[in-house]
């Protein structure tokens, strides 16, 4: 399968908070997911090299003169143009951070999609692995159940990379509701078959494993969204269109329960460079200037969304809220007389985290080129998702991944 072949398409609607404003900017995004190399010989960094270069001396070694992340550049060193994203380094080279997020595991196929959101380059990747693959993540081993089939892991940007150096940015929140539709094509543009239904008639089960984000104070706002993660603020609405309202008297994004002066709007309460809504410890300085101090620059050792600077248990994520987990399944009948699947998976009934999952196929005849569609969503107000693994049942013939 040539690199750059269009294998999938993603249509998603996410909600963002920008520049410290409420998390209610609907952001429609679409990605053409291109066949990307799984050869790890040549790697690419995800973010830009720092301007002064790895040796700390400006103008030396691989200093990069532009502000475009290397994964988004083509071989000329400029941003790959939208009509030629197949030349982007994220497609032609292996993004090195993947090994830090998932461990040194070898995918069967990887697709990469690139879009630009308000000046921010965004990379979405799907990696399909052998059944039963175990991932060596910064949080420990993540085993997958081989009975569920081929795990497909979703990676958005370089989220989860322990080597990321945080920096203030325009996107201050990312929250529910969220919808996404992932279409995996039956054939490539040149007619090459990419996916076929199983040869044998029968029942095949698609599955989705999703883990939700932690909510330490149980107020329904996950720690990443909650500037007061240890003080319940049930009256505060992080999505309310007017920021001044119940729970945040001065509308500065820092709810009353932990705002030292809730009658005096201060967008960056601790003056560390991160807006209250983006700061994982909004009332204790933990920015760039503190990076060598104990507070660190947004250091969050246990990845629970509460910065070490104000985390009472900085090495015990479960102490700041258990992460809800769901496994959703949907059966698909394959056979000459079978009916296409309708409905979708039963909701898991998990309080505060109820992802929606639905599979659609354009044919259920055995051994036929098939386009399949995965719908995934998080209802409004639920906590956002963390890791997401979709499983394709054994029997499906995924030529693009070399599975026949």
249 burial type by CB count under 10 A (0-12 exposed, 13-18 middle, 19+ buried) = middle
**Span of 147-155, 200-208, 296-304, 332-340 interacting with Ca ion by CB under 5 A:** 296-304
**Span of 18-26, 100-108, 231-239, 386-394 interacting with Ca ion by CB under 5 A:** 231-239
Provide, rounded to whole angstroms, the least separation between the CB of residue 378 and Ca ion.
Answer: 19
Q: Which of 218, 32, 4, 40 is nearest to 113 (CA)?
A: 32
Place of tokens 């993004």: 95
Residues 299 and 140: their CA atoms lie apart, in Å, by 18
Report if residue 7 touches Ca ion, rule: CB under 5 A. no
The single residue among 49, 99, 250, 333 that binds Ca ion, judged by CB under 5 A, is: 250
The single residue among 228, 345, 364, 383 that binds Ca ion, judged by CB under 5 A, is: 228
CA–CA distances in Å: residue 365 to residues 39, 264, 335, 337, 340: 34, 65, 5, 8, 9
Measured on CA atoms in the order 28, 33, 37, 40, is the torsion positive or negative?
positive
By CB under 5 A, how many residues form the interface with Ca ion? 22
Q: Which of 302, 339, 337 is nearest to 321 (CA)?
A: 302
The single residue among 32, 74, 222, 279 that binds Ca ion, judged by CB under 5 A, is: 279
Contact 35, 207 (CB under 8 A): no
Report if residue 219 touches Ca ion, rule: CB under 5 A. yes
The single residue among 44, 71, 254, 388 that binds Ca ion, judged by CB under 5 A, is: 254
Instruction: Supply 63's token pair.
Output: 């200093």
Provide, rounded to whole angstroms, the least separation between the CB of residue 350 and Ca ion.
Answer: 20
Residues 224 and 210: their CA atoms lie apart, in Å, by 17
Instruction: Supply 322's token pair.
Output: 């258990």
Closer residue to Ca ion, CB minimum distance, 180 or 278: 278
Closer residue to Ca ion, CB minimum distance, 296 or 393: 296
Contact 195, 396 (CB under 8 A): yes
The single residue among 74, 121, 215, 252 that binds Ca ion, judged by CB under 5 A, is: 252
Provide, rounded to whole angstroms, the least separation between the CB of residue 102 and Ca ion.
Answer: 21
Site for Ca ion in 8-27 (CB under 5 A): none
Report if residue 248 touches Ca ion, rule: CB under 5 A. yes
The single residue among 222, 233, 237, 268 that binds Ca ion, judged by CB under 5 A, is: 233
Site string for Ca ion, 301-340 (x = CB under 5 A): -x-x-x----x-----------------------------
Closer residue to Ca ion, CB minimum distance, 161 or 248: 248
Report if residue 259 touches Ca ion, rule: CB under 5 A. yes
Report if residue 226 touches Ca ion, rule: CB under 5 A. yes
Contact 212, 386 (CB under 8 A): yes
* Range list of β-strands (E), 19-162: 25-36, 43-44, 94-95, 109-117, 120-128, 134-137, 140-143, 150-156
Instruction: List residues near Ca ion by CB under 5 A.
Output: 217, 219, 226, 228, 231, 233, 248, 250, 252, 254, 259, 262, 270, 272, 279, 281, 286, 300, 302, 304, 306, 311
């Amino acid at each position: 399968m040539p690199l750059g072949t269009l294998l999938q398409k993603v249509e998603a609607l996410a909600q963002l908070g920008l520049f410290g404003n409420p998390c209610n900017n609907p952001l429609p995004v679409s990605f053409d997911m291109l066949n990307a190399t799984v050869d790890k010989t040549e790697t690419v960094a995800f973010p830009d090299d720092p301007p002064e270069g790895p040796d700390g001396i400006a103008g030396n070694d691989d200093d990069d003169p532009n502000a475009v992340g290397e994964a988004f550049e083509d071989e000329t060193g400029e941003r790959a143009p939208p009509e030629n994203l197949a030349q982007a380094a994220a497609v032609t080279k292996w993004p090195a951070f993947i090994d830090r997020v998932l461990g040194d595991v070898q995918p069967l196929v990887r697709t990469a999609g690139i879009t630009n959101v308000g000046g921010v380059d965004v990379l979405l990747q799907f990696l399909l692995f052998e059944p039963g693959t175990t991932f060596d993540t910064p949080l420990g081993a993540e085993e997958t159940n081989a009975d569920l089939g081929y795990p497909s892991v979703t990676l958005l940007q370089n989220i989860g990379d322990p080597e990321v150096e945080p920096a203030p940015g325009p996107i201050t929140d990312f929250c529910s509701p969220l919808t996404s539709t992932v279409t995996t094509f039956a054939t490539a543009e040149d007619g090459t078959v990419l996916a076929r239904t199983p040869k044998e008639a029968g029942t095949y089960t698609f599955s989705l494993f999703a883990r939700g984000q932690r909510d330490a104070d149980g107020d329904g706002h996950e720690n990443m969204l909650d500037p007061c993660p240890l003080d319940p603020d049930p009256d505060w609405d992080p999505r309310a269109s007017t920021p001044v309202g119940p729970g945040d008297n001065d509308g500065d994004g820092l709810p009353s329960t932990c705002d030292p002066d809730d009658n005096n709007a201060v967008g960056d309460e601790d003056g560390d460079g991160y807006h209250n809504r983006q700061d994982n410890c909004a009332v204790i300085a933990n920015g760039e200037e503190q990076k060598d101090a104990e507070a660190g620059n947004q250091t969050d050792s246990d990845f629970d969304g509460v910065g070490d600077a104000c985390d009472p248990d900085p090495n015990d994520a479960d102490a700041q809220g258990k992460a809800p987990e769901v496994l959703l399944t949907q059966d698909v009948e394959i056979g000459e007389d079978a009916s296409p699947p309708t409905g979708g998976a039963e909701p898991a009934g998990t309080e505060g985290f109820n992802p929606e999952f639905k599979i659609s196929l354009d044919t259920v005849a055995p051994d036929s080129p098939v386009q399949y569609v995965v719908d995934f969503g998080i209802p409004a107000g639920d906590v956002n998702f963390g890791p997401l693994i979709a499983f394709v049942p054994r029997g499906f013939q995924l030529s693009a991944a070399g599975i026949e």
